[in-house]
Amino acid sequence: MNTFKTFSLSALTLTSVALAHSGKDSIGQNDKWYGGRADGHAPIGIMADHTHNAGEWMFSYRYMKMHMDGLYDGDSKISPGNTGYMVVPTEMEMDMNMFGMMYAPSDNLTLTAMTNYVKNSMEMEITMGMMAGSQTKMKSEGWGDTSLGGLYKFYDNDNKRAHLGLSLSLPTGSTDETFRTPMGIIANQPFAMQLGTGTYDLLPSLTYLDQPNDFWSWGAQLNGRIHLGRNDEGYSYGDKISASSWAAANVADWASLSFRLAASSWGRIDGNTVNSVNAMNPNMSSAADPDNQGGTRIDAGVGLNLWHPTSGFRVATEFAIPLYQKLNGPQLGQDWSLTLGTQYAW
Ligand SMILES: [Cu+2]
């Protein structure tokens, strides 16, 4: 076989492989981004990632477990005894159950509602005095904040889609979870243990989705949380901005694997806790000090989406660990998070 023939044959083989993997020749998709595939939803840790077609409903349930471990001051760890506080947190666990509904009155507009039920536990260490080195544990549990909003799809062409989202978070979660101190006084639990923000929050987002072919896809999302005003306790959480980008490969008709990078930055608490009758002394407990909030974190996540083609039923999971964190400290650092979820559309 001469060189030209070999070359033409290779080119032909490459072309047919490319065509077989191209969205363009899949059945009736007409160059449009398509949700009916395993990677048709983003990794389960991402919210507001997709819109629906007119008349569609979707129910979702997510279970998220987050583990926090170790105190950070800036991007390095600090030991409990070197913080200057009498009580510091050493470990925290958060179990969140999130329930979501989506409904699309039109192809361009999808309405969303979400709420959650959360369980928190925090281990704390006493660093000074006669009880130095001893541990205490506190727990909180209940309904968190509820958000209502919409997603507006403004671009849908050439296997790409983009939508804008805006939700309003309602302060349905409690901000006055209390505990009994060793001295028998009833005091507010630290900020991280409260179930809601106590403020009305705006949740804007911008999402871009691309399916270059049937085999793989990628997407990116920018989102924020803006706290309006101050809560009944007299403070407001710092605003937050996050950026996330992921790529997913359909390893089977019914399964996709994903990899994601996410970066977020959030501010210190604004205001103080003077309104609260049960305020903790911020000079004694580091987790009750409004200055020990906020920071920057970069996470990496791997995910698996399972999709049942005929029913559209989905089950997915994502596991994430921080690659980098720089926190206004002393503040508990992120250790890992695991999300498990199921989605059903009809
Ligand atoms: Cu949906």
Q: Which amino acid, one-letter code, is at 30?
A: N
Predicted TM-score (pTM) of this structure: 0.88
First to last CA, the chain: 56
Distances in whole angstroms, Cα of residue 205 to Cα of each of 120, 154, 166, 301? 27, 13, 6, 20
For every residue of 230-258, which 3-state class applies, written as one string? CCCCCEECCCEEEEEEEEEEEEECCEEEE
pLDDT at 17: 41
**Ligand 1 centroid distance, CA of 48 (Å):** 8
Cis peptide before 309 (omega within 30 of 0): no
The C-alpha atoms of residue 48 and residue 166 are separated, in whole angstroms, by 9
Please list the pLDDT of the chain residue by residue as tens digits (346 residues): 454 444 444 444 444 444 444 433 444 456 899 999 999 999 999 999 999 999 999 999 999 999 999 999 999 999 988 898 989 999 999 999 999 999 999 999 999 999 999 999 999 999 988 888 889 899 999 999 999 999 999 999 999 999 999 999 999 999 999 988 777 888 889 999 999 999 999 999 999 999 999 999 999 999 999 999 999 888 999 999 999 999 999 999 999 999 999 999 999 999 876 666 677 777 788 888 888 999 999 999 999 999 998 898 999 999 999 999 999 989 999 999 999 999 999 9
Token pair, residue 68, equals 């926090």
Tell the residue number behind the tokens 């403004």, with chain if given: 154
pLDDT at 23: 39
Q: What is the dihedral of CA 196, 198, 200, 203, to 10 degrees?
A: -30
Q: CB–CB of 323/301 below 8 Å?
A: no
CA of 102 to the centre of ligand 1 (A): 6
Q: What tokens does 313 get?
A: 């039923």
DSSP three-state, residue 163 = strand
Nearest alpha carbon to residue 60 among 345, 337, 346, 262: 345
CA of 52 to the centre of ligand 1 (A): 6
DSSP string, 199-234: SEEEEEEEEEEE-SSSSEEEEEEEEEEEEES--TTS
- Ligand 1 center to residue 195 CA distance, Å? 25
Rounded distance from Cα 49 to ligand 1 centre (Å): 8
User: How far does the centroid of ligand 1 lie from the alpha carbon of residue 266, in Å?
Assistant: 27
Instruction: Quote the pLDDT of residue 277.
Output: 66
For residue 345, report the distance from its CA to the centre of ligand 1, in Å. 7
pLDDT value of position 235: 92
**Dist. CA 15 → ligand 1 center (Å):** 35
Backbone angles phi, psi at 340, to 5 degrees: -125, 135
Domains present along the chain, CATH in parentheses: 31-345 (2.40.160.40)
φ, ψ dihedrals at 309, nearest 5°: -55, -40
Q: What is the pLDDT of residue 283?
A: 76
CA distance 266 to 240: 4
Environment class of residue 7 by beta-carbon count within 10 Å: exposed (0-12), middle (13-18) or buried (19+)?
exposed
Q: What is the pLDDT of residue 329?
A: 82
C-alpha 90 – ligand 1 centre gap (Å): 37
Query: Phi then psi for 192, rounded to 5 degrees?
Result: -65, -20
Q: Report helix, strand or coil for 278.
A: coil
Ligand 1 centroid to 131 CA: how many Å? 51
Phi and psi at 152, nearest 5°, equal: -115, 115
